[in-house]
Structure formats: C-alpha cells, structure tokens
Amino acid sequence: MAPKNKVFVIVLTFVMAMLVIACSCSSLSSLLPTGSSGQEAIPGMAGKWQSPDNNDQFEIAWQNGQYVVLSASWEGTSYQITSQSWNGSSLSWSYLDTDLNLTVSVETISISGDSLEVNYSYSDGSSGSTTLNRVQ
C-alpha cells in the first residue's frame, strides 16, 4: 500500500473512532439519573406551597427527573394547569383562574428553606413577584 493511502486510512480510522466515541457518550448520558440517586435537583422544592397574597396553593412534585405541578387551587377550587416546563433550574407553569377569568403564569426564582420566590404574570398584562410559603 502506498504511504499516502496508509496515512489516509489511519486518519479515516481515527475520525471514525472519535465519531463512535462521541455518539456513545451522548447516548450514555441519557441513562444517567438527574440528581444523585434520583434525588431532587433543587432539594426542598417538592411540596405544597401557598401564596400569602391570595391563598393560592400549588403542589409540586419531583417525578422522573423533573419537577411537575400536580395542582393549583384556591380555597377548594381547583384550577386547570394549562402548561408547565422544567428547564433544569426553573419550573414554570400556567393555569386558568376561573374566578378572575385570567391565565396566570408562574416561574420559580429561588428557594430558601420554607420560602419559594416566584415571579407571576396575568394574561391582562399585570405581573409581580411573591414568596410562596411551604404548607406541607
């Protein structure tokens, strides 16, 4: 085999090996649990939370490596959760407040003990922030 061909075969083999390794690594990472031993990504965020401003309550759970909002309610009235997402550091959700006839969007900002800081916005354009308190 000519020296040029040997170099070409060696380089091609090296590139293919690197490609196989890169593909293997990305598929292996999906098998790793989020958080060590399946624990919450943000310890303490799962639980029941209540707004001191209007008594809205939210139940957040850690399921299958992500946070989910199980319920949104106010004094026994359950609200329909219309969307939610977990991006690895913040949980966002929207729900339809049937008493106000508005969609409310909420995004977690930070947690400290039994206090969960959130930003919220209403479909009428008003917005603000508040600290939810743990109720359970």
Tokens representing 131? 């600290």
Tokens representing 112? 């400290």
Q: What percent of the chain has pLDDT over 70?
A: 73
Instruction: Work out the pLDDT band at 111, boundaries 50, 70, 90.
Output: very high
Cα(75)–Cα(83) distance, rounded to whole angstroms?
A: 22
- pLDDT tens by residue, 65-99: 999 999 999 998 999 999 999 999 999 999 999 98
